[in-house]
Amino acid sequence: MSILVVAEHDHSTLKSATLHAVAACGKLGGDIHLLVAGHNARGAAEAPQLAGQLAENVAALIVNIAGPYSHIVLPATGFGKNIAPRVAASLDVAQVSDIMSVESPDTFIRPIYAGNAFATVQSKDAKKVITVRTTAFDAVVPEGGHAAIEDVAAPPGFEGIELLGQELTKSDRPELTSARIIISGGRGLQKGENFKMLEALADKLNAAIGASRAAVDAGFVPNDYQVGQTGKIVAPDLYIAVGISGAIQHLAGMKDSKVIVAINKDPEAPIFQIADYGLVGDLFEIVPALTAELSST
Amino acid sequence: MSTYHAPLNDIRFVLNELAGLEQVGKLPGYEEATPDTVEAILEQAAKFASEVLDPLNAVGDREGARLTEGGTVKTPTGFKDAYAQFIASGWNGLTKNPDFGGQGLPQLVATAVEEMWHGANLAFALCPLLTQGAIEAIELVGSDVQKAKFMPKMVEGVWTGTMNLTEPQAGSDLAAVRTRAVPQADGTYKLYGQKIFITYGEQDYTENIIHLVLARTPTAPEGVKGISLFIVPKFMVNDDGSVGARNDVHCVSLEHKLGIHASPTAVLAYGDHGGAVGYLIGEENRGLEYMFIMMNLARYSVGIEGIGIAERAYQRGLAYARDRVQGRAPGLDNAAPTQTILQHPDVRRMLLTMKALTEAMRAVACVTGSAIDHAHRDPDPAARKRHKAFVDFMIPIVKGCSTEVSQEVTSLGIQVHGGMGYIEETGAAQHFRDARITTIYEGTTGIQANDLIGRKTARDGGTVARAILGECTKVAIELSKSADANLKAIGAELASAAEALHGAVDWVVASYGAKPRAAHAAAVPYLKLWGVVAGGWQMARGAQVAARRLAEGKGDATFYRGKIATARFYAESLLPQATGLARAIAGGSEAVLALADEQF
Amino acid sequence: MKVLIPVKRVVDFNVKVRVKPDGSGVDTANVKMSMNPFDEIAVEEAVRLKEKGIASELVAISCGVAACQETLRTALALGADRAILIETNAELQPLAVAKLLKAIVDKETPQLVILGKQAIDDDSNQTGQMLAALLGWPQATFASKVDIAGGKATVKREVDGGLETVAMVLPAVITTDLRLNEPRYATLPNIMKAKKKPLDVVKPDALGVDVAPRLATLKVVEPPKRKGGGKVADVKELVAKLRSEAKVIS
The pLDDT tens digits of the residues spanning B124-158 come to 999 999 999 999 999 999 999 999 999 999 999 99
pLDDT band at A255; cut points 50, 70, 90: confident
Give pLDDT, residue A295: 84
pLDDT of B1: 33
CA-wise closest residue to A237 among A204, A205, A197: A205
A223 touches chain C (CB under 8 A): yes
Per-residue pLDDT band at C178 (split at 50, 70, 90)? confident
Contact of C180 with C143, CB cutoff 8 Å: yes
> Nearest-CA distance from C198 to chain B in Å?
15
User: What are the start-end ranges of the E strands in B184-248?
Assistant: 189-199, 208-215, 228-233, 235-237, 243-246
Per the CB < 8 A criterion, the answer to whether B212 and B163 are in contact is: yes
Rounded Cα distance between A88 and B588, Å, is 81
| Nearest-by-Cβ selection for C226 from A55, A231, A274 | A274
If pLDDT is split at 50, 70 and 90, which confidence band does A47 have? Answer: confident
Question: Under a CB-based contact definition with an 8 Å cutoff, are residues A242 and A197 in contact?
Answer: no
- Of B588, B556, B593, B592, residue with least CA distance to B17: B556
CB neighbour list of residue C50: distance below 8 Å, 6 or more residues apart: C3, C56, C58, C79
Look at residue B499 and give its three-state secondary structure. Answer: helix
Counting residues of chain B whose pLDDT is more than 70, the rounded percentage is 99
How distant is the Cα of C198 from the closest Cα of chain A, in angstroms?
31
Percent above pLDDT 90 for chain B: 89
CA of C13: which chain B residue's CA is closest?
B47
**Interchain contact C210–A (C-beta under 8 A):** no
Spatial distance between the Cα atoms of B212 and B229, rounded to a whole number of angstroms = 7
> Would the pLDDT of A79 be above 60?
yes
Task: Give the whole-angstrom CA distance, residue B88 versus residue A277.
Answer: 47
Size of interface A-B (CB pairs under 8 A): 8
Tell me what the mean pLDDT of segment B43-68 comes to.
Answer: 94
DSSP one-letter code for B391: H
Share of residues in chain A with pLDDT > 90 (%): 57
Cβ of residue B197 closer than 8 Å to a chain C Cβ:
no
Distance from CA of B325 to the nearest CA of A (A): 11
For range A1-18, the mean pLDDT: 89
Average pLDDT of the segment spanning B19-41: 95
Partners for A (CB, 8 Å, 3+ pairs)? B, C
| Rounded-to-integer distance, Cα B443 and Cα B396, Å | 9
pLDDT, average across residues B438-459: 97
Residue of A nearest to C222 (CA): A117
Residues of B with catalytic roles: 442
**What is the strand order of the sheet A95-99 is part of?**
A31-35, A2-6, A71-75, A128-132, A95-99
Average pLDDT of chain A is: 89
Q: Judge whether A132 and A74 are in contact, CB under 8 Å.
A: yes
Most confident residue range from A102-116, B441-455, B582-596: B441-455
Q: Per-residue pLDDT for B67 more than 80?
A: yes
For residue C182, the distance in angstroms to the closest alpha carbon of chain A comes to 12
Q: Which chain C positions have a beta carbon within 8 Å of B43's beta carbon? A: 34, 70, 74
Which H or E run contains B500? helix B485-514
Q: What Rg value do the Cα atoms of chain B yield, rounded?
A: 24
Contact between B191 and B243 under an 8 Å Cβ cutoff? The reply is no
What is the CB neighbour count within 10 angstroms for residue B378? 20
Which chain A residues have a beta carbon less than 8 Å from that of B1? 245-248, 270
CB atoms within 10 A of CB B185: 5
What size, in residues, is chain B? 600
Query: Mean per-residue pLDDT for B149-171?
Result: 96
Residue boundaries of the structural domains of chain B: 1-320+345-442, 444-600
Pairing of strands B276-281, B189-199: antiparallel
Helix (H) or strand (E) run with residue A87 in it = helix A78-90
Q: Which residue of C has its CA nearest to B113?
A: C188
- Count of other CB atoms within 10 angstroms of residue C167: 17
DSSP state of A126: S
Q: Do B1 and A268 touch (CB under 8 A)?
A: no
Residue among A45, A99, A48 at smallest CA distance from A72: A99
- C63 to chain B, any CB pair closer than 8 A? The answer is no
Total residue count of chain A as it appears in this document: 297
* Alpha carbon distance A37, C195 (integer Å): 50
- Is residue B247 within 8 A of residue B277, CB to CB? The reply is yes
pLDDT in tens, A113-157: 977 899 999 999 999 999 998 877 877 887 777 788 888 888 889
Question: How far are the Cα atoms of A195, B501, C192 from residue B527, in angstroms, in the given order?
Answer: 57, 10, 39
Q: For residue A224, is pLDDT > 50?
A: yes
The greatest distance separating any two alpha carbons of chain C, rounded to the nearest whole angstrom, comes to 69
Q: Do A273 and C93 touch (CB under 8 A)?
A: no
A179, A208 contact by CB (below 8 A) = yes
Q: Does A78 touch chain C (CB under 8 A)?
A: yes
Structural contact between residues A277 and A141, judged by C-beta atoms closer than 8 angstroms? no
List Cβ<8 Å contacts ≥24 apart for B334-341. B341/B416
Please say if the pLDDT value at position C9 is more than 80. yes
Cross-chain CB nearest to A259 (options C120, C138, C246): C246
**C134 in Cβ contact with A89 (< 8 Å):** yes
- Which of A123, A238, A258 is closest, CB to CB, to C215? A123
ipTM comes to 0.90
Low-confidence winner among A217-226, B185-194, B283-292, B344-353 (lowest mean pLDDT): A217-226
In this prediction, residue B2 carries a pLDDT of 40
Nearest to A121 among C133, C139, C215 (CB): C215
- Higher local confidence (pLDDT), B596 or C161: B596
Q: Tell me which amino acid residue B484 is.
A: D
Q: What is the CATH number of domain B1-320+345-442?
A: 2.40.110.20
Query: Rounded mean pLDDT of B558-581?
Result: 97
pLDDT score at A170: 58
- A204, A255, A276: best mutation site toward chain C, by most C Cβ within 10 Å? A276
Could you give the CA distance from residue B94 to residue B98 in angstroms, rounded to a whole number? 9
The shortest CB-CB distance from C163 to any of A167, A175, A286 is to: A167
d(CA B150, CA B130): 15
Q: What pLDDT score does B75 carry? A: 97
Higher pLDDT, C5 or A157: C5
* Distance between A247 CA and the closest CA of chain B, angstroms: 6
Check CB contact of A296 with chain C, cutoff 8 Å: no
**Would you state the pLDDT for residue A230?**
60
Q: How far apart are CA A49 and CA A273, in angstroms?
A: 51
User: pLDDT, tens digit, for every residue of C203-236?
Assistant: 999 999 999 999 999 999 987 766 778 899 999 9
**Coil/strand/helix, residue A71:** strand
Which residues of chain A are within 8 Å of residue B425 when distances are taken between CB atoms? 266
Assign B335 a pLDDT band (cuts: 50, 70, 90): low
The candidate with the shortest Cα–Cα distance to C185, out of C81, C83, C74, is C74
Residue C204 or B294, more confident: C204
- pLDDT per residue as tens digits for the range A182-214: 999 999 999 999 999 999 999 888 899 999 988
pLDDT at A45 over 80: no
DSSP state, residue B37: H
What average pLDDT does the segment B314-330 reach?
Answer: 87
Of the candidates A88, A118, A223, which has its C-beta nearest C220's C-beta? A118
- Report whether pLDDT(A297) > 80: no
| Cβ–Cβ contact B549 with C under 8 A | no
Mutation target for C interface from A64, A81, A286: give the one with most C CBs within 10 A.
Answer: A81
